[in-house]
Amino acid sequence: MKEHCISVKELFEKYGNHLTYCEISTEDDDERSYYDLVDKRDHGILCMDGESCEVLQEGKDLVVLFNDGLTFCLTQEEYAVAVFQPVRRLGDIPVGDEFMIGEDSFIVLEQTDGRTFVISGDVLLTDQVFGKTPDYKVSDLRTAAETKIQPKIEAAVGAENVLEHVVDLVTVDMQRDFGTLNCKVRPFTFDEARKYNDLLVNKELDDWTWTCTPWSVEKRGWSSSVAYVMRGGDLDYSDCVCIHSIRPVMWLNGNIEVLTERRTRG
């Protein structure tokens, strides 16, 4: 029996709530939106976004599908829109959507010039001291990111597809004592935490997460403080010898193929 993943989200974006034989129910929470295909009569869920459905019958104008004990119909046009391809080119994934690298979920933050800027959906390293000073270049945090996280990413997508870039280590109050750094995988900066704040919020995280941005400099009375982000997106500072977590960001080649993450029953 042929099966296909059904993208209810794609149907909603093209047709809105109303299809020929079904309706679409939407629900939003603090982290993302959900889309369900529902029966027009009793509004029972027929298929959730990304679920696999069996194709019982495929005619010229109509496709009959079966899922979790229920049968429903889509027109051929609707079916063509709904057939979800779980493996997609990274550069085609919209900002805010999730995908997988190995066993870890990532969120697309930006698409530009064939490159994709992403962040992990969850913390990838916990209980991490920043270092002895707020200078990320010589920090324990940099060592952890580049020796414990980066090799796993490169093994999964290819080292050549994790792109080197320059990060500006300017402090929160715009002091440039710490210069810049060429790197591949790192914590986000204070400015990135502000720019992408709505996409960073995850109240289910186990811990607060470090940025790689010093709060200020010693000549201004700040010799050891680094910015961090709380679960709800709030920004604050902490002493560099404190313990928080890492949610890495990186620029990836937008031409790689990745497995997109979708909602499943249960």
How does residue 64 score in pLDDT terms, banded at 50, 70 and 90? very high
How many whole angstroms from its chain centre is CA 192?
A: 14
Q: Where are the beta strands (DSSP E) in 2-124?
A: 3-6, 22-28, 33-39, 45-48, 52-58, 62-67, 70-75, 83-84, 87-89, 98-101, 104-112, 115-120
Q: Distance between CA 53 and CA 45 in Å, rounded?
A: 13
> Where do the domains of the chain lie?
3-84, 89-253
| pTM, two decimal places | 0.71
Distance of alpha carbon 18 from alpha carbon 15, whole angstroms:
7
Query: What digits encode the pLDDT tens for the residues 112-139?
Result: 999 999 999 999 999 999 999 999 999 9
pLDDT tens for 157-200 read: 999 999 999 999 999 999 999 999 999 999 999 999 999 999 99
Structure confidence at residue 204 (pLDDT)? 86
Span 48-69, average pLDDT = 92
Inform me whether the pLDDT recorded for 61 exceeds 50.
Answer: yes
| Higher local confidence (pLDDT), 86 or 145 | 145
In tens, the pLDDT along 16-48 reads 988 999 999 998 876 678 899 999 989 899 999
| Cβ-based neighbours of 211, under 8 Å, separated by 6 or more | 187, 188, 189, 190, 192, 193, 226, 227, 228, 229
Write down the pLDDT at residue 261.
Answer: 55
Give pLDDT, residue 260: 80
Burial string for 183-211 (b: 16+ CB within 10 Å, else e) reads: bbbbbbbbebbeebeebbbbeebebbbbb
What would the mean pLDDT of 139-159 be, rounded to a whole number? 97
**How do residues 200-232 score in pLDDT, each as one tens digit?**
998 888 789 999 999 999 999 999 999 999 999
Res 84: pLDDT: 67
Q: What pLDDT is attached to residue 256?
A: 97
Predicted confidence band of residue 263 (pLDDT cuts 50, 70, 90): very low
Integer CA distances (angstroms), 159 to 51, 103, 163, 242, in order = 32, 18, 8, 31
